[in-house]
Structure 1
Amino acid sequence: MVRAVPTWLRVVAVIFVVLTALLLLAPLVVVAGASLNASQFVQFPPDGLSLEWYRKVLSSSEYLSAGWTSLQIALLVTVSATLIGGAAAIAIHRDQLPGSQALSALFLSPLVLPTIIYAIGMLMLWSSVFGPVTFLTLWIGHTVVAIPYVVRTTLAVLSESDPFLEEAARTMGARRLQRLWLVVVPQCAPGLAAGAFFAFNVSFDEAVLSLFLRKPGLTTLPVQIYGQLEFSPDPSVAAVSTIMIAITIILIFCIDRLLGIKNFAET
């Protein structure tokens, strides 16, 4: 017979969950509260409430230009990382390539390699081979660090897929590309969607790579925030951060409507 969970253990578990939630959510609440501050300084609780800093951000050419650059790169990275990572995950799952395990470790290696080391190496390599960094450099750099998320989520979904569906399609006369597009891709769609979500967020929030691989006139939103904090910090930084948090929440809501948050979380 399974013994009942002791009351004291339940209390400890509840306290642990509550404290963890507070540690995760409290910083977000502080940032959102500071963005409504009526004074010229970043502080919490706010000294009066005002939307002035949101107006300043949305009318600032520096913030808008940096935000547009980050959005462009994030969208391009989402497409490229999803295509490359999804194709790599399918190939690794089928184990039809020589050294599939080594390829899996290679595609997942950016997760364990410190970003600053990769950024310095990418900058030195690109400068010595191609010359000054460009928009393309930033796109490639962000794609490399985003691919592992797509590979990981897609492999997780494929590991639970039914291998006999593709065999049945082949028996029915479906050609290789037809089986890939009509059977394999729909099976790994939740993993691709989750990977695309992570790829967008990783690229949009990436600061280290953007700092090393940028050029004059090519500034992303995280780099703009860091520069603002360094030279003249004010609540506009908190306002931009709150907008970025809101974008993430909107993306999660869209995924929930299209895919279902339960299926998304299971990847």
Structure 2
Amino acid sequence: MFDGPLADAPLPAKRIADWEGRSYHWTMAVLATLALLLMLSPTIVVLVISFTSGLSLRFPPPGFSFRWYVALADAWQLQFAAWNSFKIAAWTTILSLLLGVAAALGIARSQRLSARLLDSLFMAPLVLPALAFGLSALMLFSFVGLPVSPLTLTLGHTVVCVPYVVRNTVASLTQLQPELLEGSASLGASRMMTLRRIVLPLIRPGIIAGGFICFMASFDNIPVSLFLRDAATDMLPIRMWQDLEGKLDVTIAALSGVLIVATVTLMLVMERVAGLSRRLA
């Protein structure tokens, strides 16, 4: 049962060590469970409130009904904002994948100082506070004479989302066996053919995982959207925030329930397709 220094220890010492090991595991299990409940409890409360039959956000609800989910069909402002957020997130994901994959291919296996500097540059948006970046981007676009529009919003989201694609793609490239590339070259394949037939198929799970995180980060982004959107570009997170501040509309809870279910479903699909938890580990 015991190896090492405790093998020849007296029986009481073995029992104490065994008790300490079990108590440690039980303590960590209890703390992890409490932390998980603490993180999930707001989501559970929102889901329960979304089925309320009342006219206000109150927990526990006086009754249960699907009336607020039905009301989403007539909430055209929320639908318009959701469509805008979806379009911006889609364009952001496309641009981030193009730029992030190209950057990862250039810096993944390079030992040059320039590659390390570029890697730090691509990761910088994750360190800079989002509000500070949004204000700085607004000042830059104003300086060059580019008015705020869906274009500036897409560019701003792309800057803050590219790091997710770069990091996941670089992680996939570092796991790529160099023998495969050497074998392809020895068989006469060009670099482009090797990239298209070997590299990209093997790193595809990392690219998909980065694109998924990029889409979710853009769809849910508030700080950058506050500065870089125009009056006609209503974004869903900002619309939900404004409605909660102004009138505490229960429809927002129903919409949150839809988003929670959609997010969990997409995460399960991504786990099935790309092994998302392994990519984030």
Residue by residue, what CA displacement relative to the aligned partner does 1:42-97 show, whole Å, maximum 9, x if unpaired? 12221211212112223211000000001111111111111211111111013187
Structure 1 stretch 28-37 or stretch 38-47: which is displaced more?
Answer: 38-47
Q: CA deviation at 1:20?
A: 1.6
Structure 2 counterpart of 1:126, one-letter code: F
Q: CA deviation at 1:131?
A: 3.5
Q: Does 1:204 align with 2:219?
A: yes
Secondary structure, aligned partner of 2:224: helix
- Work out which of the residue numbers 215, 236, 239 in structure 1 matches 2:254: 239
Structure 2 counterpart of 1:203, one-letter code: S
Q: CA deviation at 1:152?
A: 1.0
Residue by residue, what CA displacement relative to the aligned partner does 1:189-247 show, whole Å, maximum 9, x if unpaired? 12111101100110010011111111112111001001101211121111122212122
- Work out which of the residue numbers 160, 177, 181 in structure 2 matches 1:162: 177
Cα distance change on mapping 1:30 and 1:197 into 2, 3 Å: same
Greater CA radius of gyration, 1 or 2? 2
Alignment partner, residue 126 of structure 1: 141
Matches within 5 A, 1:24-103: 24-95=39-110, 99-103=114-118
Cα distance change on mapping 1:107 and 1:174 into 2, 3 Å: same
Structure 2: distance between partners of 1:202 and 1:241: 16
Q: Does the aligned pair in 2 maintain the 1:190–1:263 contact within 8 Å?
A: no
Q: CA deviation at 1:263?
A: 4.5
Q: Does the aligned pair in 2 maintain the 1:35–1:53 contact within 8 Å?
A: yes
Structure 1 counterpart of 2:116, one-letter code: Q
- Work out which of the residue numbers 3, 7, 10 in structure 1 matches 2:25: 10
Unaligned 5+ segments in structure 2 are 7-17
Residue by residue, what CA displacement relative to the aligned partner does 1:144-181 show, whole Å, maximum 9, x if unpaired? 11111111111122222201211110111111111111
Alignment partner, residue 147 of structure 1: 162
Q: Does the aligned pair in 2 maintain the 1:34–1:43 contact within 8 Å?
A: yes
Q: CA deviation at 1:259?
A: 3.0
Unaligned 5+ segments in structure 1 are none
Matches within 5 A, 1:184-223: 184-223=199-238
Structure 1 stretch 198-207 or stretch 211-220: which is displaced more?
Answer: 211-220
Residue by residue, what CA displacement relative to the aligned partner does 1:88-137 show, whole Å, maximum 9, x if unpaired? 11110131876000000000000000000110011111122133211111
Q: Does the aligned pair in 2 maintain the 1:138–1:214 contact within 8 Å?
A: yes
Instruction: Compute the TM-score of the two structures, normalised by the length of structure 2.
Output: 0.89
Instruction: Compute the TM-score of the two structures, normalised by the length of structure 1.
Output: 0.94
Secondary structure, aligned partner of 1:99: helix
Structure 2: distance between partners of 1:92 and 1:264: 19
Structure 2: distance between partners of 1:78 and 1:14: 38
Alignment partner, residue 135 of structure 1: 150
Alignment partner, residue 230 of structure 1: 245
Q: Does the aligned pair in 2 maintain the 1:70–1:220 contact within 8 Å?
A: yes
Alignment partner, residue 12 of structure 2: none
Alignment partner, residue 110 of structure 1: 125
RMSD: 1.8
Alignment partner, residue 254 of structure 1: 269
Structure 1: distance between partners of 2:86 and 2:247: 24
Cα distance change on mapping 1:131 and 1:88 into 2, 3 Å: closer
Q: Does the aligned pair in 2 maintain the 1:153–1:194 contact within 8 Å?
A: yes
Q: CA deviation at 1:10?
A: 1.8
